[in-house]
Chain A
């Protein structure tokens, strides 16, 4: 299964998936609504990192987000630091290029928002089993067909990869050369695609039969085997963060947020 979920006995893992999802969405709204360069950094340090440590996924978060975000941040900081048109306060120069404070702060604001978006989402994915998330979403009104598309994609793609490997193995056993330069590797895809795609069409037909045989097309009101705990305190917490995020968004929209230094 293609999932980032880590089965750890943490309080965050035990939270209702909807609570975590609402929390992440609210955090993302907040970082985009607050026009301060330091806001994403503050949310990262005060909310996301403690949550990751509490869930015992700090190391994993560091590795995965580092691979994704460090190159991105470098590009944003270099580009904005040297080329931001509002750059006035020069911090240092490289040849004829000046690195400005305004560009750096803009880069921190834009990049920081991306960092928070990615890391908060990762904490959600690390601590939430996709099946539970989909169960919770279905229970809260998501159409079962959409839940099916997501869950089947998560589960079937690795099997699809296994089938591709089997086809390649069969073709190699009949003398097909799969190694070599990139052009040759690309050429290998051609004999692979035909059986793989035809196989998928057969699968789709058989799977739809199996789904219908199990009443997937039924119009009855669906029930659920797994019931996720959703205590009152989580309901209150969800509404609290939603209100905070919406207030911040509304204040930002009408320009009523107080001006702090370097508003962006």
Chain B
């Protein structure tokens, strides 16, 4: 496996502050892997997403130390243009991801390709592929500003996917999506990973992370508090302490253990298939 993202001892503080938002982050993501990061609000998830995607330090400034290597380049010493040609970033607010430069969804999706000077024929093909994959054919002739938040988020994701980044950073990409839209986004992450894209997703939807992520990190107070498989991490008794919470299946099983309905050493379920397996025993 090749490390597409390799963070080693990363510390960061925003300009004009002394408080470190990130305090010694070590993290790797391989090609073709989906890695999740969970944590309470304000622990530094968005900051970490910006470090990986190069906006820290290139746009935000601040004090960054430690190693940040993405797709073989050192992010702090490379240009932002070089980083964004390799890393796609999807953020949580869909409204602000719409460029404002284009008047139809089709053009909006192609905007990044136009900026990179991709030939028109290739552009048409790539836009059509992404539109079909996301099932947004009926939106392509509409104004991006005439869409709902969820639809705008799908357009934002399409706009990133079409650029075929080797690394995809998704910062709460499903915050505006309904359950089926959220499911679709996670399916797309899996599909991209299966083609070799390294995906790191910062997300609160634990059940979907359980099904999709290979590795889960818990970010708490600027440090990685726990790492493991989603089931290991999300069934940990400290999830409330980390501000991550637990899925309804974990909570139900925990209550069942407390009431003696399940053995004390039961491996707690995180998702529906886990729960079925546990309760069947």
Contacts and interface: CB of A to CB of B under 8 A. Distances in A.
Contacts, number: 118
B123 A225 contact: yes
Interface string B136-179: 00000001110000000000100110010000000000000000
B55 interface: yes
Contact of B117 (A210, A216, A222): A222
Interface residues of A, number: 36
A57 B280 CA distance: 71
B64 interface: no
Nearest to B109: A225
Interface in A200-227: 203, 206-227
Contact of B99 (A1, A214, A224): A214
Contact of A222 (B80, B115, B127, B156): B115
Nearest to B144: A155
Interface residues of B, number: 45
Interface stretch (B19-27, B65-73, B90-98, B217-225): B90-98
Dominant secondary structure of chain A at its interface with chain B: helix
B87 to A, nearest CB: 8
Interface in B94-122: 95-104, 106-107, 110-120
A215 B163 contact: yes
Nearest to B87: A213
A203 B95 CA distance: 9
B186 to A, nearest CB: 21
Contacts of A148: 99-101
Interface string B228-267: 0000000000000000000000000000000000000000
Contacts of A226: 107
A156 interface: yes
Interface of B: 50, 53, 55, 59, 80-81, 84-85, 88-89, 91, 93, 95-104, 106-107, 110-120, 123-124, 127, 143-145, 156, 159-160, 163
